[in-house]
């Protein structure tokens, strides 16, 4: 059945025909569904609360220009995991896109991450790699990294105050809506500085963008006769109709599953401001960070640059300004905040998840279901491991589901 087909509301009897229920159609959920369907010949029902599949990786053409926009922020695929790379190439070809980021500070554009070009430009003269290392080490010696009490001190101990104040302080304050002096030093365990001119953002072995877009890729994962996808269905509206014991993979928010009984986990969320601009090229690159604290957004995406091979309009382009803030109760969660209080709550939810696995055959996965920040390749890798180690043994041999939140 087509992934976009939405039959009438599910009744209790309809669940009986499925071997596995998957809640959420992001990369974790669809990987599990595809493996169960193709490798074990099991019938899988995917329930998706939104009106489309794909979770936050969903993309769609902007109507006026036809430029493919990632609705929930830019998604860049990269991995060094050959198993993941081989798996995803079953469903899409990839372009040779390599992600490069630039950052705007006080009206000047710098390459990012910090490298020899940025150091030379920022300090106004050429440095050899050894000279640049010595300069940064001298500036970072202001604070011993072992004694850092907050994010600001930790960052200064790694890269020095001048680079911190220009490229980290304002951006971090906007990301977290918090003064860096009030943030934990654990948020920045390292700040990479490259002492060469390499400005490739990722160092992974494999990198690229799906040539037909993310939505086409995701639809191909769901395009199996054993998989049925129901969009616009909230799992919590139909949970009581699912026969107790039906194997279920839940990828929604962990705290929501348990009705916030141990408290609400903290998340950051993103807001997006999209605009069609009457020019063929707005900023010359796909992503421009804005380091100045008085600029309210963190970055601007220009999506035409993700696919220079496509025949997009020459007189219009699409830009999306991205804003970061703490998530409220009804916001879409993006990044776990992971404070000490969050970690205490998470431990209580971990214990509840083990009980739920035994009593209702529910397994928790994905970024929301485990309260872990997972890139796309990490979510897919986790799903493949979870399928091998937990789901396949359960579906094939009746082994009990392990309720831990790790693959």
Catalytic amino acids? 190, 194, 268, 299, 322, 373, 375
pLDDT for 11 equals: 66
Q: Which of 14-23, 43-52, 85-94 has the lowest mean pLDDT?
A: 14-23
pLDDT for 29 equals: 98
Architecture of the domain defined by 12-60+87-95+208-265+337-397: 3-Layer(aba) Sandwich (3.40)
Domain ranges of the chain: 12-60+87-95+208-265+337-397, 115-187
Distances (CA, A) of 130 to 138, 194, 195: 12, 11, 8
Q: Is the predicted pLDDT of residue 26 greater than 60, yes or no?
A: yes
pLDDT in tens, 41-66: 999 999 999 999 999 999 999 999 99
The residue-averaged pLDDT of 391-404 equals 91
pLDDT in tens, 285-308: 999 999 999 999 999 999 999 999
The residue-averaged pLDDT of 118-125 equals 98
Collapsing DSSP to helix, strand or coil, 269 comes out as strand
| CATH classification (class only), 115-187 | mainly alpha
pLDDT for 7 equals: 47
pLDDT in tens, 154-190: 999 999 999 999 999 999 999 988 899 988 888 887 7
Q: Is the predicted pLDDT of residue 110 greater than 70, yes or no?
A: yes
pLDDT in tens, 365-396: 999 999 998 999 999 999 999 999 999 999 99
Distances (CA, A) of 178 to 61, 173, 183, 287: 35, 5, 7, 23
Q: Rg for the chain (alpha carbons), in Å? A: 23
């Amino acid at each position: 059945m087509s992934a976009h087909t939405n039959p009438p509301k599910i009744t209790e009897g309809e669940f009986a025909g499925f071997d596995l229920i998957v809640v959420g159609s992001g990369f974790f959920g669809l990987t599990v569904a595809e493996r169960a369907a193709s490798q074990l010949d099991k019938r899988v029902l995917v329930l998706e609360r939104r009106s489309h599949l794909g979770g936050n990786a969903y993309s769609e053409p902007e109507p006026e220009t036809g430029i493919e926009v990632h609705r929930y922020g830019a998604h860049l695929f990269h991995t060094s995991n050959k198993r993941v790379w081989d798996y995803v190439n079953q469903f899409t070809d990839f372009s040779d896109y390599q992600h490069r980021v630039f950052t705007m500070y006080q009206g000047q554009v710098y390459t990012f991450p910090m490298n020899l070009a940025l150091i030379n430009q920022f300090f106004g003269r050429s440095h050899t790699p050894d000279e640049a290392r010595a300069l940064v080490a001298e500036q970072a010696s202001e604070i011993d990294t072992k004694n850092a009490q907050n994010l600001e001190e930790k960052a200064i101990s790694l890269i020095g105050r001048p680079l911190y104040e220009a490229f980290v302080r304002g951006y971090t304050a906007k990301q977290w809506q918090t003064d860096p002096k009030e943030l934990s030093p654990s948020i920045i365990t390292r700040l990479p500085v490259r002492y060469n001119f390499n400005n490739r953002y990722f160092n992974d072995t494999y990198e690229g963008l799906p040539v037909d877009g993310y939505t086409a890729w995701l639809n191909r994962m769901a395009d199996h006769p054993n998989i049925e996808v129901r969009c616009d269905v909230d799992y919590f509206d139909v949970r009581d109709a699912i026969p107790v014991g039906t194997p279920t993979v839940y990828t929604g928010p962990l705290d929501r599953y348990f009705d916030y009984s141990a408290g609400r986990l903290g998340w950051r969320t993103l807001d997006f401001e999209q605009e069609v601009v009457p020019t063929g090229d707005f900023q010359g690159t796909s992503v421009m960070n804005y380091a100045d604290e008085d600029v309210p957004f963190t970055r601007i995406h220009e999506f035409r640059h993700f696919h220079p091979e496509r025949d997009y309009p020459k007189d219009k382009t699409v830009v999306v300004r991205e804003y970061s803030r703490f998530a409220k109760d009804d916001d879409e969660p993006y990044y776990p905040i992971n404070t000490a209080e969050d970690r205490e709550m998470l431990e209580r939810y971990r214990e509840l998840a083990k009980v739920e696995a035994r009593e209702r055959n529910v397994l928790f996965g994905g970024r929301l279901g485990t309260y872990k920040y997972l890139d796309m390749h990490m979510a897919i890798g986790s799903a493949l491991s979870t399928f091998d180690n937990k789901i396949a043994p359960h579906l094939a041999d009746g082994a009990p589901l392990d309720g831990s939140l790790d693959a």
